[in-house]
Amino acid sequence: MLPRCLNCSHHISLSWHLFAFKWTKYRCVKCGAIHESTNLKGAYAVILVLLTPLSFKFFNNDAIMDFFGFFLYFSAISLILSILPGQHKLSKESEYSGKQT
Protein backbone atom coordinates (compact mmCIF):
# COMPACT_ATOMS: atom_id res chain seq x y z
CA MET A 1 0.00 0.00 0.00
CA LEU A 2 2.45 2.59 -1.24
CA PRO A 3 1.52 6.27 -1.38
CA ARG A 4 -0.29 7.31 -4.56
CA CYS A 5 -0.93 10.55 -6.41
CA LEU A 6 -4.15 12.14 -5.23
CA ASN A 7 -4.94 13.24 -8.79
CA CYS A 8 -4.26 10.18 -10.97
CA SER A 9 -3.47 7.35 -8.47
CA HIS A 10 0.03 6.81 -9.88
CA HIS A 11 2.63 5.66 -7.31
CA ILE A 12 4.56 8.42 -5.56
CA SER A 13 8.29 7.91 -5.14
CA LEU A 14 8.87 6.13 -1.85
CA SER A 15 12.18 7.93 -1.38
CA TRP A 16 10.39 11.31 -1.45
CA HIS A 17 7.73 10.03 0.89
CA LEU A 18 10.17 8.69 3.48
CA PHE A 19 13.30 10.83 3.24
CA ALA A 20 12.38 14.27 1.85
CA PHE A 21 12.26 17.36 4.01
CA LYS A 22 8.87 18.81 4.85
CA TRP A 23 9.33 21.75 2.45
CA THR A 24 10.36 19.57 -0.52
CA LYS A 25 7.60 19.17 -3.10
CA TYR A 26 7.02 16.26 -5.46
CA ARG A 27 5.71 16.45 -9.04
CA CYS A 28 3.83 13.38 -10.26
CA VAL A 29 5.57 11.88 -13.28
CA LYS A 30 2.27 10.89 -14.89
CA CYS A 31 -0.06 13.89 -14.48
CA GLY A 32 2.28 16.64 -13.25
CA ALA A 33 0.36 17.36 -10.04
CA ILE A 34 2.49 18.87 -7.28
CA HIS A 35 2.32 17.26 -3.85
CA GLU A 36 3.50 18.72 -0.57
CA SER A 37 3.88 17.29 2.91
CA THR A 38 1.40 17.92 5.69
CA ASN A 39 2.10 18.62 9.34
CA LEU A 40 1.21 14.99 10.07
CA LYS A 41 4.32 13.84 8.18
CA GLY A 42 6.43 16.16 10.31
CA ALA A 43 4.84 14.80 13.47
CA TYR A 44 5.58 11.22 12.39
CA ALA A 45 9.21 12.18 11.68
CA VAL A 46 9.58 13.71 15.15
CA ILE A 47 8.13 10.59 16.75
CA LEU A 48 10.56 8.44 14.74
CA VAL A 49 13.54 10.53 15.84
CA LEU A 50 12.46 10.41 19.48
CA LEU A 51 11.84 6.66 19.47
CA THR A 52 15.14 5.73 17.82
CA PRO A 53 17.39 6.25 20.89
CA LEU A 54 14.90 4.39 23.06
CA SER A 55 15.03 1.40 20.73
CA PHE A 56 18.76 0.91 21.33
CA LYS A 57 17.99 -0.37 24.82
CA PHE A 58 16.51 -3.49 23.23
CA PHE A 59 19.61 -4.30 21.16
CA ASN A 60 22.57 -6.36 22.34
CA ASN A 61 25.97 -4.78 22.89
CA ASP A 62 27.35 -6.73 19.97
CA ALA A 63 28.13 -4.37 17.05
CA ILE A 64 26.78 -6.73 14.39
CA MET A 65 23.53 -7.21 16.26
CA ASP A 66 23.23 -3.46 16.71
CA PHE A 67 23.54 -2.94 12.97
CA PHE A 68 21.02 -5.62 12.06
CA GLY A 69 18.68 -4.60 14.85
CA PHE A 70 18.77 -0.97 13.73
CA PHE A 71 18.22 -2.08 10.12
CA LEU A 72 15.18 -4.15 11.12
CA TYR A 73 13.86 -1.33 13.29
CA PHE A 74 14.29 1.22 10.49
CA SER A 75 12.66 -1.12 7.96
CA ALA A 76 9.65 -1.67 10.20
CA ILE A 77 9.22 2.04 10.88
CA SER A 78 9.58 2.84 7.16
CA LEU A 79 6.87 0.33 6.34
CA ILE A 80 4.54 1.81 8.94
CA LEU A 81 5.21 5.37 7.78
CA SER A 82 4.61 4.44 4.15
CA ILE A 83 1.10 3.07 4.78
CA LEU A 84 -0.26 5.74 7.13
CA PRO A 85 -2.60 8.07 5.19
CA GLY A 86 -2.75 11.85 5.26
CA GLN A 87 0.96 12.62 4.98
CA HIS A 88 0.75 14.55 1.72
CA LYS A 89 -1.72 16.74 -0.11
CA LEU A 90 -2.04 18.45 -3.48
CA SER A 91 -0.27 21.77 -3.59
CA LYS A 92 -2.09 24.94 -4.61
CA GLU A 93 0.59 25.37 -7.29
CA SER A 94 -0.70 22.29 -9.13
CA GLU A 95 -3.97 24.09 -9.86
CA TYR A 96 -2.13 26.64 -11.95
CA SER A 97 0.60 24.47 -13.46
CA GLY A 98 -1.42 23.37 -16.50
CA LYS A 99 -2.92 26.76 -17.35
CA GLN A 100 -1.23 29.20 -19.68
CA THR A 101 -1.83 32.93 -19.58
Domain span at 63: 14-96
Residue 40 lies in a domain: yes
Report DSSP state, residue 61.
Answer: S
Please indicate, yes or no, if residue 3 is contained in any of the structural domains.
no
Quote the number of domains for the chain.
1
- Whether 25 maps to a domain, the answer reads yes
For residue 32, pLDDT over 70 is answered with: yes
Give the model confidence (pLDDT) of 41-95 as tens digits. 878 878 877 777 766 666 555 555 567 777 777 788 777 777 778 888 888 876 6
**Is 27 contained in some domain?**
yes
Residue 23 lies in a domain: yes
Indicate the burial class of 90 (C-beta count within 10 angstroms; 0-12, 13-18, 19 or more): middle
Q: Is residue 101 part of a domain?
A: no
For residue 64, being part of any structural domain is answered with yes
Say what the pLDDT of residue 67 is: 73
Alpha carbon distances (Å) from 86 to 11, 82, 101:
15, 11, 33
What residues does 11 pair with on adjacent strands? 4
**Does the residue 5 lie in any domain?**
no
pLDDT score of 99 more than 50: no
pLDDT at 100: 43
Q: From CA 53, how far away is CA 32, in angstroms rounded?
A: 39
- Work out the number of other CB atoms within 10 angstroms of the CB of residue 37: 22
